């Protein structure tokens, strides 16, 4: 293969759009630019979310995908629009890469009516049936049995969709993980279980919490094909994800371990003091966004000026998204119970906190 000079391309900022097809997997120039654009957008979005939390615009818990951008875009590129995604509470980037309007995502973080879950879900509970993203779950491992059930439903009606269920490394130690993998293998369910191994279950390293730190090997106990991939390389993740999805679509579950790093603590309030100075320096050195930017420049796909322009456009876009979310209204308190059930349920209690359980009507003097 001969070397040939390529004219640097000028990337464009990401705009709100519906995801109509997965990104082409490969190391071609346009594919790398697409990955970089998506990763940069997620990076700036998450940084703005962190700032929003300090401004008290976001309440509750808030877990960010900072450092995991290559993993996110690689995995999502492997899915078809008709496939289903279940994930945990670190899901903002997945919602973006799945094609959900970023304004709705930020509005949900801010707890506003224009949010993905009408402002009632917040950071940990993104849910959008149109994009087949079925959560966002705050309970560790809560998504795994539900995702397995969705795969069973697909198999029951002979569908060709696939379920992807992502989880953190700490989740692999709970019973639901093993129970779900066992039943998925027994029943040949079309599901890809993805372990996002950022090496820390909150603040405890995998090596200290797991007798087998190479977590993908746990698939062998259930005769599930499995693999481990470098989560800092979006192309490697995309290729591994594509293979995993192909296996699942053919009727066998798959276990994929993606090894990456989170740049911040477990949540925005975690100072991550359990990391040494050497670890922090290593994280910065292997930052996936910066690494891919350097590759684009080195291979002549883009130049530093065009990447800087893109960054400025993305920053401006994210500020507009934040302004949209902040301008959105808060939900009315009487809508708190609107989505408890899919259909009306007799005697459904809609009592708000502080209200009496029973309301008595005072009798008149004539009745006394």
Query: pLDDT digit string (tens) for 257-312?
Result: 999 999 999 999 999 989 889 988 998 999 999 999 999 999 999 999 999 999 99
Q: Which helix (H) or strand (E) holds 227?
A: strand 225-230
- Best CA proximity match to 317, nearest among 12, 73, 14, 9: 14
pLDDT recorded at residue 6: 40
* CA–CA gap between residue 265 and residue 253 (Å, rounded): 32
pLDDT at 27 (0 to 100): 60
Give the separation between CA 57 and CA 326, rounded to whole angstroms.
8
Helix axes 29-54, 234-249, angle to 10 degrees: 100
Give me the pLDDT at residue 8, please.
45
What pLDDT digit, counting tens, does each position of 111-135 carry? Answer: 999 999 999 999 999 999 999 999 9
What's the CA gap between 227 and 243, in Å, rounded? 10
Ranges under pLDDT 50 in the chain: 1-23
* CA 261 – CA 318 distance, rounded (Å): 24
Nearest-10 Cα torsion for 310, 314, 315, 321 = 170
DSSP code at position 219: G
91 burial (CB, 10 Å; 0-12 / 13-18 / 19+) is buried
Q: Are 10 and 21 in contact (CB under 8 A)?
A: no
Q: Who's near 221: CB < 8 A, 6+ residues apart?
A: 178, 181
Q: What is the pLDDT of residues 13-25, one digit of tens each?
A: 444 433 434 445 5
Q: Which residues pair with residue 255 across a beta bridge? A: 193, 226
Nearest-5° Cα angle at 266, 178 to 216: 30
The distance in angstroms from the start CA to the end CA of the chain is 100
Matching CATH number, 29-328, of 3.30.40.230, 1.20.1090.10, 3.40.50.970, 1.20.810.10: 3.40.50.970
Phi, psi of 163 (to 5 degrees): -105, 135
Percentage with pLDDT > 70 across the chain? 90
């Amino acid at each position: 293969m001969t070397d040939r000079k390529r004219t640097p391309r000028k990337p464009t900022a990401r705009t709100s759009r519906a995801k109509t097809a997965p990104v082409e997997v490969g190391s071609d120039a346009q594919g790398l630019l697409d990955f970089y654009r998506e990763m940069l957008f997620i990076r700036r979005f998450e940084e703005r979310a962190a700032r929003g939390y300090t401004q008290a615009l976001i309440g509750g818990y808030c877990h960010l995908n900072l450092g995991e951008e290559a993993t996110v875009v690689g995995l999502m590129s492997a899915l078809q629009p008709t496939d289903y995604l279940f994930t945990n509470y670190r899901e903002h980037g997945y919602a973006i890469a799945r094609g959900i309007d970023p304004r709705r995502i930020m509005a949900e973080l801010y707890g506003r009516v224009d949010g993905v879950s009408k402002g009632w879900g917040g950071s940990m509970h993104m849910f959008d049936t149109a994009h087949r993203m079925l959560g966002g779950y705050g309970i560790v491992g809560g998504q795994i049995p539900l995702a397995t059930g969705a795969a069973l439903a697909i198999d029951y009606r002979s569908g060709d969709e696939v379920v992807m269920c992502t989880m953190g490394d700490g989740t692999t130690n709970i019973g639901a993980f093993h129970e779900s993998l066992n039943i998925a293998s027994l029943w040949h369910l079309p599901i890809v279980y993805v372990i996002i191994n950022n090496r820390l279950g909150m603040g405890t390293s995998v090596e200290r919490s797991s007798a087998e730190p190479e977590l993908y090997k746990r698939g062998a106990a259930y005769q599930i094909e499995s693999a481990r991939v470098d989560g800092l390389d979006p192309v490697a993740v995309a290729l591994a994800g594509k293979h995993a999805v192909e296996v699942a679509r053919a009727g066998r579950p798959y276990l994929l371990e993606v090894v990456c790093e989170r740049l911040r603590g477990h949540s925005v309030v975690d100072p991550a003091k359990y990391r040494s100075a050497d670890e922090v320096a290593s994280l910065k050195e292997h930052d996936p966004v910066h690494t891919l930017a350097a590759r684009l420049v080195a291979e002549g796909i883009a130049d530093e000026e065009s990447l800087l322009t893109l960054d400025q456009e993305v920053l401006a876009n994210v500020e507009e998204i934040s302004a949209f979310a902040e301008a959105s209204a808060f939900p009315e308190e009487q809508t708190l119970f609107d989505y408890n059930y899919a259909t009306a349920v007799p005697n459904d209690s809609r009592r708000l906190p502080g209200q009496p359980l029973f309301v008595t009507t005072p009798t008149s003097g004539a009745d006394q």
